[in-house]
Structure 1
Amino acid sequence: MTLCSNRPEGFGPQSHLYSHILTSCFLDTILVPLCTWLYLLALLILFFLPTKPNSSPKTPFFSRAWRKTEKGDSQSVVEEAPPAAKYRGLRMPRVFRTTFLALYYLLLLAQILMCTLEIVRLALAHLGIGLLPFTYVTLFGAFIMRLTRGLGGRIREWRWANIAVFVALLVTNGVKVAEEVKEGVNTRKGTKYPESDEIIDVSVMIGVYTVLMILELVLG
């Protein structure tokens, strides 16, 4: 399957139909995967950044400590390594934090399903899927960063990398919706993936990225 096919606006970046907007093919093959590449590059740079003297040292995902029991014996306990970054998010009751964290993971799963829906419907309509599967890498990376809190402190400021990539994908998909609205909601009517359906799908993904960005700030 070609990256893009049967798209009347052409590859781009400038549309053959509307000179003032980008093409959906250019967005799907260049800008959307570019967000992933920049995200991975940022994480790689943060991983190799030297630890400042006044910052928390690199620690394993979980550290082992010892405590005294009532009988005086030493008992091994496993404690989660503290985050390396100074920003800890908003102070809130544990139940709220647990709820927000569960919502964060559920939204990541929902976004994976929405991306899959868009890719499958583009393929069924023989429009080409571009490099949209790269988005899975971003979502999986955000999941790993949140689950391990930056690989146990090895990647400092990982939260801001997550926030930045969510903002980038939000903006990129916003441009895609604007381009599709300019083309007209009745475009591809009667096909397996009408323009109006894709506008709805991408708009939902924009909303999910927005909430994920907010949750990153709240959870810290």
Structure 2
Amino acid sequence: MMLCSNRSEGFRQGPLSHLYSHILTSCFLDTILVPLCTWLYLLVVVVLAAIGARRSPGLRRSHKTSEDVEFDGLADSGHKRSHGIAHKAFSILYYLLLLAQVLMCVLEITRLSLAHLRIGLLPFTFVSLILACALHFTRGFRGRVLGWKWANLAVFIALAVTNGVKIAEEVKEGTGQRKGSKYPESDEIIDVSVMVGVYAALAILETMLRP
């Protein structure tokens, strides 16, 4: 399969490796497992948007989440200023982490390409990151996508888990693999580990921030 040609095991061999016992192939990870998070995320967002579209505009305007009530309470108690400073700082960190994650994805894809290992469907991850950023910035397209924070939280956790599985499989395969190539296995493990950490941080911030 052209999506991951030049790898030791291609897509046609199935998800399980025939060279190493009890691990998934890198082709399956980059073509199915990691992109699956984006496919499911898009489906969930479309469903949530469809549900939101069925609600009347008046209900959308009058709807307040528990986070809204909590924020209003803080404002009334005189803590609005300190809360606003902390919120702004965490918001800046959130968007910086999203940017960093985009750059890490670019780095991984570029290095895989330079090593002539193909990139599977890894570019689909950009869709998740851009959509998550848009939903957060517009507060769920200004209330039209219900439960968007939970969708963002879920996709960040899912991407952290699937990339964690990717690390585990690469460690089992051995850090000495692809030694001498433009993208050794050990380098990819480091890159993906950083990405897992960033996804975890984004998930934490998503639960903390009120757009």
Instruction: Name the TM tier (shorter chain).
Output: 0.7 to 0.9
The match for 2:42 is 40
Q: For residues 180 and 189 of structure 1, what CA distance do their matches in structure 2 show?
A: 13
The match for 1:168 is 158
The match for 1:68 is none
Q: 1:188 Cα deviation (Å)?
A: 0.5
Unaligned runs of 5+ in 2: 75-81
Corresponding letter in the other structure for 1:17: L
Give CA deviations for 1:132-188 in whole Å, capped at 9, x if unaligned. 000000000000000000010011110000000011100100000001001111110
Say which one has the larger Rg: 1
Give CA deviations for 1:29-81 in whole Å, capped at 9, x if unaligned. 0111111111011011111115679x97235xxxxxxxxxxxxxxxxxxxxxx
Give CA deviations for 1:174-210 in whole Å, capped at 9, x if unaligned. 0000010011111101000000000000000000000
Q: Is the 8 A contact 1:83 1:149 kept in 2?
A: no
Unaligned runs of 5+ in 1: 60-81
* 3-state secondary structure, aligned to 1:58: helix
Corresponding letter in the other structure for 2:17: S
Does structure 1 residue 131 correspond to structure 2 residue 121? Answer: yes
Q: For residues 101 and 83 of structure 1, what CA distance do their matches in structure 2 show?
A: 23
| 170, 174, 178: which one aligns with 1:180 | 170
The match for 2:32 is 30
* Matched-pair identity in %: 62
* 3-state secondary structure, aligned to 2:190: helix
Matches within 5 A, 1:1-220: 2-11=2-11, 12-49=14-51, 57-59=59-61, 85-88=65-68, 93-220=83-210
Corresponding letter in the other structure for 1:164: A
Corresponding letter in the other structure for 1:170: A
Q: Aligned in 2, Cα 1:124/1:219: closer, same or farther, shift over 3 Å?
A: same
Q: Aligned in 2, Cα 1:189/1:87: closer, same or farther, shift over 3 Å?
A: same
Q: Aligned in 2, Cα 1:84/1:32: closer, same or farther, shift over 3 Å?
A: farther
Q: 1:84 Cα deviation (Å)?
A: 5.2
Q: 1:86 Cα deviation (Å)?
A: 3.3
In the TM superposition, structure 1's runs of 4+ consecutive aligned residues that sit over 2 Å from their partners are 9-12, 50-53, 55-59, 82-92
Q: Is the 8 A contact 1:85 1:156 kept in 2?
A: no
Q: For residues 190 and 64 of structure 2, what CA distance do their matches in structure 1 show?
A: 39
Question: TM-score, normalised on structure 2?
Answer: 0.86
What CA RMSD, in Å, does the superposition of the two structures yield over aligned residues? 2.3
Q: Is the 8 A contact 1:42 1:161 kept in 2?
A: yes
Q: For residues 28 and 136 of structure 1, what CA distance do their matches in structure 2 show?
A: 14
Q: Is the 8 A contact 1:4 1:129 kept in 2?
A: yes
Q: Is the 8 A contact 1:85 1:157 kept in 2?
A: no
Normalized per residue, which structure has more helix? 2
Q: For residues 194 and 31 of structure 1, what CA distance do their matches in structure 2 show?
A: 21
Normalized per residue, which structure has more strand? 1
Q: For residues 4 and 48 of structure 1, what CA distance do their matches in structure 2 show?
A: 35
